[in-house]
Chains A and B, each alone.
Chain A
Amino acid sequence: MSAFDLIAGVLLIASALAAVTLKNAVHAGLALVGNFLVLATVYFALEAQFLGWIQIIVYAGAVMVLFLFVIMLLFDAKADVGAGRMPWMRPIAAALAAVFFLALAYAFSGVGPVHPLAEIKLAGGLPGPLGQLLYGPWLYVVLLIAVLLFAATVAAVVLVQPGVRGARKKPQVLERERELEEVDR
């Protein structure tokens, strides 16, 4: 284990813990950005350079910025408003996380890599050799992901567009209707 491994591991765990425990959602989001940046350096070290850059561009650059937009749009930075309905859940959640971690740690114990890394020509994980794979054996998956992104765009647009398309009702009318519904129940 080199010094890089040690520092990267500590930083990864610390930033992930910060992301789940910090009370301020903006702080948590920024901790997650830090986590993604460290993760990208780990990818570089594992000879997955293109993936590392994509990780920075898409996750840290696009996804997390959308997250921060949403948090700030909704003024939701203070995350623990109204929390504490079930305080006894916290230790249980922590215990379950520990059990899951221990089970996986056991699964990984004594397992070496299936293919020794030195045998495979990773070529630094640059886009050149990666493109041969993406537009070769993985072409079907790439096409499907294009369809998936299109469907997700349609779904996201449908999800946020206002529902009623007819004439808009006045607030007083809506209020009266709601009262009538209450009486109905």
Chain B
Amino acid sequence: MTTLWILFLTALAATFVGFFAPARTAKVFTLLGLVAALVSLALGWGEPLSAYGGLYVLDPFAQGFTLVMIVGGLLALLADCDYFQRKGWPPFEYYALVAFAVLGGHVMASTAHLGVIVVGLELLSIPLYALAASRRDEASYEASLKYFLLGAVAAAVFLYGIALYFGATGGFVLGAAGSGPIYAAAVMLLLAGLAFKTALVPFHWWTPDVYQGSPAPVTLFMATAVKAAAFAAFARVLAAVGLEGPVFYALAALVLLTVFWGNLTAMVQGEAKRMLAYSSVAHAGYIAIALFGPDPAPAMGYYLLAYALSTGLAFAVLTQLDDGRGVRLGELAGLWGRSPLLGLGWTVALFSLAGLPPLVGFWGKYLVFLEAARGGQYLLVALALFAAVIAAYYYLKLLGAALFAKAEKAEKIVLSGSTPVGIALATLLVVLLGVLPGLGFGLFTAANAIVR
């Protein structure tokens, strides 16, 4: 309850404080609000809580996923320091929109009621459509338009799924018993709508264009917080439906297509943000593979945290390099020399995304693969591992572009404001949670039972 209220009041305060104070104050308000939400989450950690007649369920599962979303929001706000100032943006509403999106994600993660999920989904998506267009150039508008059109279609598919679900079971709450072709159609429509948000192949077509065209801090937010919210709903729907028959094969096909298509197409990209977009598609496949296990929630939650920290760090570094036209691989050259902090963050982030020990990304991958193996899906695990090895190629290519290539520009990059804090903090967490994995995983072990 307190977390929900704090997030709501944060969004409200960030909207109105900008009328009286400079945008920087709105940013401070939003940051403080997110930290307060984190604290309230920590105070009630592990204790399930339910309100509004069971429509709001803050169980450990929802707590874990909300933690990831808040971390994503914090990173996006900390890293954006100079990005928008260079373009004369953002107005203070930027921070309010981020806060509303986090609230939407929290609502979406903490319910088993389909009507609430769809409202949370819209509360998450609508601010993002505006945020994607916030750089005010053609690439940004195009990203926003594509995201909006496909998002609206996905929402319609999801809504139609809800209608059929109500028709088949007589209720809106997930977990009702159902059978027959109309129930199967409802489940397929629900999963298709959510697979769009989680960017599983073949519903990922918006991802590369939107990630590349959107402003870099917004991309950071999409890749971390939005993914966590979407996977929370996806996991709840799947846990309620059960993984049998056509649903099993559909999910297996989605996972295999996702890991291979994401990794293979990432190899041929020439631009860092687009490469990381395809990489995030592939990572969605790894997260989904945990759903084959008997007890997927802790592994998924931990993977999402690991992924949010690593990819958030990578996009935070790109935010400092991006001038609105994307970051060509050549522009990464000499990163260590131009700014040692950015160089260190970039190296750590890429090793972690590639899944090398002793960084947090390794433990995330280890846990999801272990989970799928516990479910007996050895072939799937082997193929996904193979895809993960392919992925090492382009992560090392990205790293090599920063480490070994001759610098095109020699001038130093000066980090200002909260940016060095955000990057240093994320780097530290990626390393620390990698060395002491129990520290992070302990947070998610309580999430074992997804409330239905």
Residues of A bordering B, CB below 8 Å:
103-104, 106-109, 111, 113-115, 137-141, 144-145, 147-148, 150-152, 154-159, 161, 163-166, 185
Which of A107, A113, A139, A151 has the most CB atoms of chain B within a 10 A radius of its CB? A151
Instruction: Check B127–A151 contact: CB distance below 8 A.
Output: yes
Q: How far is the CB of A30 from chain B (nearest CB, A)?
A: 21
Q: Which residue of B lies closest to A164 (CB)?
A: B88
Chain B residues positioned under 8 Å from A148 (CB to CB)? 104, 119, 122-123, 126
Given contacts A140-B53, A145-B119, A148-B126, could you give 8 more A-B pairs where the C-beta distance is less than 8 Å? A106-B181, A111-B182, A140-B55, A141-B116, A148-B119, A148-B122, A151-B104, A159-B129
Q: Which residue of B lies closest to A104 (CB)?
A: B185
Chain A residues positioned under 8 Å from B56 (CB to CB)? 140
Provide the bound-state CA to CA distance between A145 and B107, in Å.
12
Chain B residues positioned under 8 Å from A151 (CB to CB)? 11, 97, 100, 104, 123, 126-127
Provide the bound-state CA to CA distance between A35 and B338, in Å.
61
Chain B residues positioned under 8 Å from A147 (CB to CB)? 8, 11, 100, 103, 123
Q: Give the size range of B's interface with the partner.
A: 35 or more
Stretch of B166-174, B356-364, B444-452 with 4 or more beta carbons under 8 angstroms from chain A: B166-174
B24 at the interface (CB under 8 A from A): no
A-B contact count (CB 8 A): 101
B52 at the interface (CB under 8 A from A): yes
Provide the bound-state CA to CA distance between A158 and B84, in Å.
15
Instruction: Check A140–B15 contact: CB distance below 8 A.
Output: no
Provide the bound-state CA to CA distance between A144 and B89, in Å.
29
Q: Which of B144-186 contact A (CB under 8 A)?
A: 144, 164, 167-170, 180-182, 184-185
Q: How far is the CB of B134 from chain A (nearest CB, A)?
A: 7
Given A140-B53, A144-B119, A148-B126, A114 and B167 contact (CB-CB distance below 8 Å): yes
Provide the bound-state CA to CA distance between A156 and B144, in Å.
13
Provide the bound-state CA to CA distance between A132 and B7, in Å.
28
Chain B residues positioned under 8 Å from A155 (CB to CB)? 97, 100, 126-127, 129-130
Chain A residues positioned under 8 Å from B185 (CB to CB)? 103-104, 107
Given A140-B53, A141-B115, A156 and B130 contact (CB-CB distance below 8 Å): yes
B96 at the interface (CB under 8 A from A): yes
Q: Which residue of A lies closest to B148 (CB)?
A: A159
B120 at the interface (CB under 8 A from A): yes
Q: Which residue of A lies closest to B56 (CB)?
A: A140
Given A148-B122, A148-B126, A164 and B93 contact (CB-CB distance below 8 Å): no
Chain B residues positioned under 8 Å from A152 (CB to CB)? 126
Provide the bound-state CA to CA distance between A151 and B181, in Å.
38
Q: How far is the CB of A157 from chain B (nearest CB, A)?
A: 7
Provide the bound-state CA to CA distance between A139 and B56, in Å.
11
Which of B55, B89, B120 has the most CB atoms of chain A within a 10 A radius of its CB? B55
Complex A-B: 5 CB contacts under 8 Å: A111-B181, A154-B96, A154-B127, A155-B127, A159-B130
Mark contacts of B265-282 with chain A using CB atoms, 8 A cut-off: 1 yes-contact digit, 0 otherwise.
000000000000000000
Instruction: Check B100–A154 contact: CB distance below 8 A.
Output: yes
Q: Which residue of B lies closest to A106 (CB)?
A: B181
Q: Is the interface of B mostly helix, strand, loop or mixed?
A: helix
B87 at the interface (CB under 8 A from A): yes
Which of A144, A147, A150, A164 has the most CB atoms of chain B within a 10 A radius of its CB? A144
B133 at the interface (CB under 8 A from A): yes
Provide the bound-state CA to CA distance between A159 and B133, in Å.
7
B420 at the interface (CB under 8 A from A): no
Chain A residues positioned under 8 Å from B115 (CB to CB)? 138, 141
Chain B residues positioned under 8 Å from A154 (CB to CB)? 15, 93, 96-97, 100, 127, 130
Provide the bound-state CA to CA distance between A159 and B147, in Å.
14
Provide the bound-state CA to CA distance between A103 and B180, in Å.
13
B136 interface neighbour in A115, A137, A138, A163, Cβ under 8 Å: A163
Instruction: Check A141–B181 contact: CB distance below 8 A.
Output: no
Instruction: Check B181–A158 contact: CB distance below 8 A.
Output: no
Provide the bound-state CA to CA distance between A145 and B126, in Å.
13
B91 at the interface (CB under 8 A from A): yes
Provide the bound-state CA to CA distance between A164 and B129, in Å.
19
Q: Which residue of A lies closest to B135 (CB)?
A: A163
Chain B residues positioned under 8 Å from A159 (CB to CB)? 129-130, 133, 144
Q: Which residue of A lies closest to B119 (CB)?
A: A144
Chain A residues positioned under 8 Å from B94 (CB to CB)? 158
Instruction: Check A115–B103 contact: CB distance below 8 A.
Output: no
Q: Which residue of B lies closest to A111 (CB)?
A: B182
Q: Which residue of B lies closest to A184 (CB)?
A: B325
Provide the bound-state CA to CA distance between A166 and B88, in Å.
7
Q: How far is the CB of B11 from chain A (nearest CB, A)?
A: 7
Chain B residues positioned under 8 Å from A156 (CB to CB)? 130
Provide the bound-state CA to CA distance between A165 and B94, in Å.
14
Provide the bound-state CA to CA distance between A108 and B183, in Å.
10
Q: How far is the CB of B23 from chain A (nearest CB, A)?
A: 10
Chain A residues positioned under 8 Å from B104 (CB to CB)? 148, 151
Instruction: Check B88–A111 contact: CB distance below 8 A.
Output: no
Provide the bound-state CA to CA distance between A108 and B89, in Å.
51
Chain B residues positioned under 8 Å from A150 (CB to CB)? 15
Provide the bound-state CA to CA distance between A163 and B84, in Å.
11
Instruction: Check B168–A114 contact: CB distance below 8 A.
Output: yes
Given A141-B55, A141-B119, A145-B119, A158 and B93 contact (CB-CB distance below 8 Å): yes
Instruction: Check A163–B89 contact: CB distance below 8 A.
Output: yes
Q: How far is the CB of B283 from chain A (nearest CB, A)?
A: 28
Q: Which 9 A-B pairs have the closest CB atoms?
A: A163-B136, A140-B52, A155-B130, A107-B185, A151-B100, A107-B181, A140-B55, A114-B170, A164-B88
